[in-house]
Amino acid sequence: MALAQERIDELNRDLFIVDLTISSSYVIHLEIDSEKGSVSIDDCIRVSKNIEHNLDREEQDFELSVSSAGLDRPLRVWKQYPKNIGRSLKLKTTDGRKLEGELLKVEADFIEIGFEETLKTEGKKKKEIVNQVIRLDFDHIQEAKVVVSFK
């Protein structure tokens, strides 16, 4: 992990590690994301070459793949949240609740999500749409995915 982080830091492109796995057969998969914007194919190639340059194939044969975190994958590290403020998230909580709403705020240990809820007004047949904001601690989030919209 340290070698990969050093190589990413050398590139100075606001990239960070989301996941790093190394199998018993030395298949290395590194998933990266960017604090600002998206990860390009060139970013993946640069990181891959930079890491490969510092590994010795004579000492140990390995396979290396570097990819971006991808829109279809859940958010897995804190650094992925701030750049998604203002976007809609689908969340599953550790107690089984499913929520969808706009990511409004990200702090060190929690996020705030805004959403509309339809409530039946007491004593009336009419329903009312109410804006709600809830705070979720990171340790209560089982999964969070960005809702991709092509509007």
Question: Mind listing the pLDDT tens digit for each residue in 84-142?
Answer: 999 999 999 999 999 999 999 999 999 999 998 888 777 777 788 889 999 999 999 99
Domain ranges of the chain: 2-68, 78-146
Contact criterion met (CB below 8 Å) for 138 and 110: yes
Alpha-carbon distances, residue 92 vs 36, 86, 95, 99, 133 (angstroms): 25, 19, 8, 7, 16
Fold of 2-68: GMP Synthetase; Chain A, domain 3 (3.30.300)
State the CATH class of domain 78-146. mainly beta
What is the per-residue pLDDT across 70-85, written as a single tens digit (0 to 9) for each? 888 999 999 999 999 9
CA distance 5 to 31: 12
Tell whether the model's pLDDT for residue 9 goes beyond 80. Answer: yes
